[in-house]
Amino acid sequence: VYGLSRRARDEPCPGYRGRVLIAIDGPAGAGKSTVARAVAHALGCGYLDSGAMYRCVALLSLEQPDCAPAVLASAATITLSRSGDGWLVQLDGRDVTAAIRAPAVSAAASRLAADPGVREALVAKQRALIAHGDWVAEGRDIGTVVAPDADLKIYLTATPAERADRRARELGIDATGVLAAQDARDLRDSTRKHSPLTVAPDAIELDTSGLDVDAVVARIIALAQPPG
């Protein structure tokens, strides 16, 4: 179906019609979730929000500070499912969709994402999920670690000020505090020892500053089409 489905050509899964995996990585506030959801919807693919998994483990570890985050990560059952127009995140059966977006959880997620045991447990869950079917997966390390053989890799970014503005508008708060927290997260995500946020050598960089969501989505869908 899509021109970039290398895996479907070279490594067909028995009994499967072919598969597409699109990796969308980038820093906080680049618009990954909105764009990835729209691309998944347009192409009829599943959607993996890997950040939601780190957020779930962060929530658990705030609730159970005496338990090792890596243990919490491997024991957790995290599911992401469509719910009306949005997406429902469930952690061990409870709805944590709103709870995992709290600023304290964002900061904790960024801290424990540096823990190699947490990463190992969550990467295993992510790989198991995307092993079958067509997926748009978003995060920081999808194209570099989780799925280095993805058919199409997009690195989405925007200027720090624009990213903070978008997030502040979404949350209805002042952009100054958002920018400071975002800078701290960017620094932690890109300088950590394990799977830091980097651009995969074969990723296509898209700077979304000044572009609206529809234009970015259209560009990615065009990139996923067969050439000619």
| CA-based end-to-end distance of the chain | 13
Note whether 189 binds ligand C5P by CB under 6 A.
yes
**Is residue 115 close enough to count as binding ligand C5P by CB under 6 A?**
no
Residue 5 is a binding residue for ligand C5P (CB under 6 A): no
Per CB under 6 A, the segment of 37-45, 51-59, 89-97, 215-223 that binds ligand C5P is 51-59
- Restricting to residues 146-185, which ones interact with ligand C5P according to CB under 6 A? 185
Mark the segment that binds ligand C5P (CB under 6 A) among 38-46, 87-95, 135-143, 209-217: 135-143
SS3 138: strand
Residue 180, helix vs strand vs coil = helix
How far, in Å, CA of 195 to CA of 207, rounded?
22
Residue recorded with tokens 């505090």? 177
CA distances to 106, 112, 153, 163 from 141, in Å: 17, 15, 11, 19
**Is 113 a residue that touches ligand C5P (CB under 6 A)?**
yes
Q: Does 73 bind ligand C5P (CB under 6 A)?
A: no
Instruction: Give the C-alpha separation, 117 to 89, whole Å.
Output: 22
Interacting residue ranges for ligand C5P, rule: CB under 6 A:
28, 50-51, 54-55, 109-110, 113, 139-141, 185, 189
